């Protein structure tokens, strides 16, 4: 791990100096000699388990799983190559995506950048998503298999994907702690847990980051988790920062989703009636985005850029984790780094946001039972 980090030290040294500017209302981050974006850095966790990463992270799941379109290996490679070019060094996958196939693809397309990036993954399921399994035996199986599929020697951050009611969280944390001692894992993370369960796990093995859903249509974590994370010094990786694409303003119909390869097709919030009713939030983002992107031809920030930049402005330990299969959308999301929020703007925006009632649950009933445990 030390060698891995040393290879990027000069880049990190420059980027880290700029990282705090996102939340301080500083000038947009542009390289001195061009219009190329400089990727700021953020730190997840603290002490021996601190993890310095790019302020934006890329979720690999949608490249071949659960997002309607399945990219070829060449197309997927082009996406991650552009991510690396933009300065993203934190990538995310999971054993259950496919299952296994997303890790296999990830191992292939990120191989050229092994010494430049980190790829995090997750355990917590059996052979497929129907079975929750965080038993010590299964955790070790997934660890060994993921190392091989990802073509890496150590998993930089190993998350429990979902709570397993059959395995006490203390036992889960203890198993990952042992894997850290063995050098197979560098850091421990959890997903979609309650604050109480996070505290129990953290006592056994320090948690570097919690990965949970967080966006303008689901802000519960601000009240339910952030106080605990701040008390314990744990970072937060926000998955679905665009509400699975909805906050981009580009999704209008349920028929846009392939029911064979897109979980949004069955989610309550992505049915035609709820998507139409919730569109007020996209209009609000568009209104507040006027004049907010100095790099845009019209000077305006898009709804997607406003949604991502909001998360960046809220807390310095939040890292938005987005995914896309489209190079244009990737560029658009990166430009969220150009958008600066000031305290008064945030307050005014949140006052208007509070007037909008969000319709539709974020998960179907069975999946909802697996989060916040």
Would 373 be classed as within a structural domain? no
Q: Is residue 67 part of a domain?
A: yes
Share of the chain above pLDDT 70, in %: 87
Q: What is the pLDDT of residue 212?
A: 97
Residue 104 domain-assigned (yes or no): yes
User: Taking the model in full, what pTM does it have?
Assistant: 0.88
Whose tokens are 């996102």? That residue is 22
- Average pLDDT across the chain, whole number: 89
* CATH, residue 85: 3.20.20.100
Is residue 52 in some structural domain? yes
Average pLDDT of the residues in 130-140: 96
Write phi, then psi, for 371 (nearest 5 degrees): -115, 155
Task: Report the distance separating Cα 130 and Cα 198, nearest Å.
Answer: 24
Q: Give the pLDDT of residue 10.
A: 41
Question: 166 pLDDT exceeds 90?
Answer: yes
pLDDT digits (tens, 9 = 90+) for 80-132: 999 999 999 999 999 999 999 999 999 999 999 999 999 999 999 998 888 99
User: What is the spatial distance between Cα 69 and Cα 72, in angstroms, rounded to a whole number?
Assistant: 10
Report the pLDDT value the prediction gives residue 246, as an integer from 0 to 100.
93
pLDDT above 90 covers a percentage of the chain that reads 75
Give the SS3 label for residue 75.
helix
pLDDT digits (tens, 9 = 90+) for 345-357: 999 999 999 999 9
Which tokens go with 51? 């993890």
Torsion of CA 109, 111, 114, 118, to 10 degrees: 40
Q: Is residue 18 part of a domain?
A: yes
On whether residue 253 sits in a domain, the answer given is yes
Total structural domains in the chain? 1
- Going from the C-alpha of 223 to that of each of 202, 340, 351, the distances in angstroms are 19, 23, 16
Lookup: tokens for 32: 């001195």
- Long-range Cβ contact pairs of 106-112 (< 8 A, separation 24 or more): 106/60, 106/149, 106/150, 107/149, 107/150, 107/151, 107/152, 108/73, 108/77, 108/151, 109/73, 109/76, 109/77, 109/80, 110/80, 110/150, 110/151, 111/151
Burial letters for 117-147: b for 16+ Cβ neighbours within 10 Å, e otherwise? bbbbbbbbbbeebeebbbbeebbbebbeebb
Tell me if 220 is assigned to some domain.
yes
Say if 331 falls within a structural domain.
yes
Task: Count other Cβ atoms within 10 Å, centred on residue 47.
Answer: 8
CA 74 to CA 78: how far, in whole Å?
6
246 catalytic? Reply is no
Pick the residue with more confidence: 162 or 25? Answer: 162
- Tell me the C-alpha to C-alpha distance, in Å, between residue 325 and each of 71, 78, 86, 203, 331: 7, 10, 16, 39, 11
* pLDDT for the residue numbered 68: 64
Top pLDDT among 333 and 130 is at 333
**Pick the catalytic residue: 65, 86, 97, 214?**
97
Structural contact between residues 205 and 177, judged by C-beta atoms closer than 8 angstroms: yes
Q: Please tell me the predicted confidence (pLDDT) of residue 34.
A: 35
Domain enclosing residue 90, as ranges: 2-368
pLDDT digits (tens, 9 = 90+) for 266-325: 888 889 899 999 999 999 999 999 999 999 999 999 999 999 999 999 999 999 999 999
Buried b / exposed e over 159-170, threshold 16 CB at 10 Å, is: bbbbbbeebebe
């Amino acid at each position: 791990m030390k060698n891995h980090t040393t290879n990027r030290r000069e880049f990190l040294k420059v980027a880290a100096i700029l990282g705090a500017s996102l939340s301080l209302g500083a000038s947009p981050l542009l390289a001195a000699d061009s219009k190329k974006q400089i990727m700021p850095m953020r730190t997840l966790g603290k002490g021996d388990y601190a993890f310095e990463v790019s302020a934006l992270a890329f979720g690999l799941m949608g490249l071949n799983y659960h997002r309607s379109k399945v990219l070829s290996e060449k197309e997927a490679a082009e996406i991650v190559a552009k991510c690396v070019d933009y300065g993203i060094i934190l990538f995310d996958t999971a054993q259950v995506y496919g299952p296994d196939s997303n890790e296999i693809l990830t191992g292939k397309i990120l191989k050229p950048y092994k010494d430049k990036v980190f790829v995090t993954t997750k355990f917590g399921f059996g052979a497929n998503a129907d079975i929750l399994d965080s038993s010590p035996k299964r955790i070790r199986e997934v660890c060994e298999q993921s190392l091989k599929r990802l073509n890496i020697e150590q998993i930089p951050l190993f998350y429990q994907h979902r709570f397993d009611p059959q395995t006490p969280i203390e036992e889960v944390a203890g198993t990952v702690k042992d894997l850290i001692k063995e050098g197979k894992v560098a850091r421990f993370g959890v997903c979609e847990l309650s604050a109480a369960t996070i505290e129990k796990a953290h006592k056994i093995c320090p948690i570097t980051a919690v990965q949970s859903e967080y966006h303008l249509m689901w802000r519960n974590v601000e009240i339910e988790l952030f106080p605990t994370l701040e008390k314990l010094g744990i970072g937060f990786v926000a998955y679905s920062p665009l509400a699975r694409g909805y906050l981009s303003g580009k999704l209008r119909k349920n028929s846009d989703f392939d029911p064979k390869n897109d979980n949004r097709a069955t989610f309550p919030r992505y049915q035609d009636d709820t998507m139409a009713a919730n569109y007020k939030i996209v209009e609000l983002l568009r209104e507040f985005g006027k004049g907010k992107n100095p790099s845009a031809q019209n000077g305006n920030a898009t709804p997607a850029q406003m949604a991502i930049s909001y998360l960046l402005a809220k807390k310095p330990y939040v890292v938005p984790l987005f995914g896309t299969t489209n190079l244009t959308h990737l560029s658009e999301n990166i430009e969220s780094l150009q958008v600066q929020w000031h305290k008064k703007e945030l307050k005014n925006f949140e006052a208007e946001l509070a007037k909008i009632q969000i319709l539709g649950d974020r998960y179907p009933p069975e999946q909802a039972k697996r989060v916040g445990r």
